[in-house]
A and B are shown apart, each in its own frame.
Chain A
Amino acid sequence: MKETIIEKVKDLFEDSRIEAFLGLKEENGQIGPYLFTDPKDLEGFSLGDKEWPGDKRYPLSKILIALAQKYPENRFGILVRGCDERALNELFKWNQLNEEHVVMVGFPCPQELAEACECPKPYPESLVVGEKVKGIKSKKVEVILNMGMEGRLKYWTERFSRCIKCYGCRNVCPVCFCNECELANDDLIPSGEIPPENPIFHLVRAAHMAGRCIDCGLCEEACPVGIPLRTLYKKVADIVDSEFGYRPGYQKDQKSPFNILGERPED
Chain B
Amino acid sequence: MTAKRIRFLKEFLSFSGIEPDRLRLEWVSSAEATRFVEVITDFIDQVKELGPSPLKAALAAQDLN
Tell me, yes or no, whether A32 is within 8 Å of chain B by CB. Answer: no
Q: A216: CB under 8 A from chain B?
A: no
User: Are the CB atoms of B1 and A261 closer together than 8 Å?
Assistant: yes
Stretch of A16-24, A75-83, A155-163, A171-179 with 4 or more beta carbons under 8 angstroms from chain B: A155-163
Instruction: Give chain B's interface secondary structure class.
Output: helix
Determine, out of A5-13, A106-114, A119-127, A142-150, the stretch whose residues face the partner at the interface: A142-150
B12 and A151 contacting across the interface, CB-CB below 8 Å: no
Q: Hey, which chain B residues are within 8 Å of A199, CB to CB?
A: 16, 55
Q: What is the size, in residues, of chain B's interface with A at 8 Å between Cβ atoms?
A: 23
Of the 9-residue stretches B3-11, B30-38, B40-48, which lies at the interface with chain A?
A: B3-11
Once A157-B55, A198-B59 are accepted as A-B contacts, the answer to whether A243 and B11 lie under 8 Å apart by CB is yes
Asked if residues B58 and A235 are in contact (CB atoms below 8 Å), the reply is no
Contact with A along B1-27 (1 / 0, CB 8 A): 101110111011011111100000100
A239 pairs with B16, CB closer than 8 A: no
Q: Mark A239-263, 1 if CB is under 8 A from B, else 0.
A: 1100110000000000001100110
How distant is the Cα of A150 from the Cα of B14 in the complex, in angstroms?
Answer: 10
- B54 near A153 with CB under 8 A, answer yes
Q: What bracket does the count of chain A residues touching chain B fall in? A: 20 to 34
Chain B residues contacting A157 (CB-CB under 8 Å) are 17, 55, 58-59, 61-62
Beta-carbon contact of A154 and B11 below 8 Å:
no
Task: Determine whether the beta carbon of B54 is less than 8 Å from that of A257.
Answer: no
A70 within 8 A of partner (CB): no
Which B residues are closer than 8 A to A by beta carbons?
1, 3-5, 7-9, 11-12, 14-19, 25, 54-55, 58-59, 61-62, 65
